[in-house]
Amino acid sequence: MNILPFVTILILVISLLISSFFQGHKESSLSKLGLTGVTEAYRLARNSKQEDLLRKVKNLPEEKQKGTKKYFRERITDNSKFNFSPLLKEENPFLEEVLQNFLERIYHCPKGFSKALIESAKANPGFTSFEELSMPQPEFHALWYKMLKGSPNYPDAGEWPPFSHHLILRDEKEVIVIRKASLFLLQAFFGEEIAEAIVAKEKEPDRGKKIQISDKELKEILTEHEFPKEHLVYTTHQHKKKGRKTAHEKDPTTGVSAKIVYSR
């Protein structure tokens, strides 16, 4: 009896079974590796998000890190800051005075400093960071460097914050977002009496969730104190919505990428 065909068929069947087994193992390994890559890339993206948030927390006063509730105008966000950009587009004595008052409150800078800063900024068109500016005046040079860096022990009482902590470059005509402005900015723009009236209104009991001053309440206060209406063109009442940020990372082993989108 010729068993060669039987043996050949048997070998072929065994070969197919072995090939199927290894192919399945290969696909399983690749699938596992891909899943591992996705997990690792997601972890890297998540860590990137956490590191970004941690950097912000480290720059916050100790009271806020511990969760102590503070008056919202003491919290600094981008919408709390003085927008420097409008001062580069026109000569405006009022805005120069607001800037000078603002810087005096935070940095105790001398008269004439704000004008020198504006001149330096205009002499460097296209700058994107205050770090790019210099103050050629000898009396302002050392002070400017300290203002840029801030005090090493900030936010301890009496210490200086870095310059960008309270000022921002934003391509908008508004200098102040009223509902989110810091107390320093509120005082510098509207003056002490109006700022005190706004704070008193916001701290009235039983306001519920509507702590921030409404547009109607603000208009009543400004009318009562005869604030010049022409200056309101440099204000906006509603704060801007928080932007969204994407953390995008790639697993170096597999090349698989993942991303996380979150609020700033």
pLDDT (tens digit, 9 = 90+) per residue, 161-176? 999 999 999 999 999 9
Q: Report phi then psi at 97, rounded to 5.
A: -70, -40
Question: Span 133-154, mean pLDDT?
Answer: 90
pLDDT (tens digit, 9 = 90+) per residue, 194-224? 999 999 998 888 887 778 889 999 999 999 9
Q: Report phi then psi at 135, rounded to 5.
A: -115, 105
- Percent of the residues in the chain that have a pLDDT greater than 70, as a whole number: 64
Whose CA is closest to 166, among 196, 186, 140, 152? 186
Which pair of tokens denotes residue 96? Answer: 């120069």
Q: CA-CA distance, 220 to 48, in Å (whole number)? A: 46
Amino acid at 226: E
- Are residues 199 and 183 in contact, defined by beta-carbon separation less than 8 angstroms? yes
Which pair of tokens denotes residue 17? Answer: 């079974």
pLDDT (tens digit, 9 = 90+) per residue, 49-75? 555 655 555 555 554 444 556 778 888
Q: CA-CA distance, 137 to 107, in Å (whole number)? A: 17
Higher pLDDT, 88 or 61: 88
Q: CA-CA distance, 45 to 258, in Å (whole number)? A: 7
* pLDDT of the residue at 195: 95
Residues forming beta bridges with residue 259, ordered by sequence position = 248
Domain limits, the chain:
4-58+245-263
- CB atoms < 10 A from the CB of 221, how many? 19
**Segment among 2-6, 49-53, 145-149 with least mean pLDDT:** 49-53
* pLDDT of the residue at 9: 67
Question: Span 131-151, mean pLDDT?
Answer: 91
* pLDDT of the residue at 247: 63
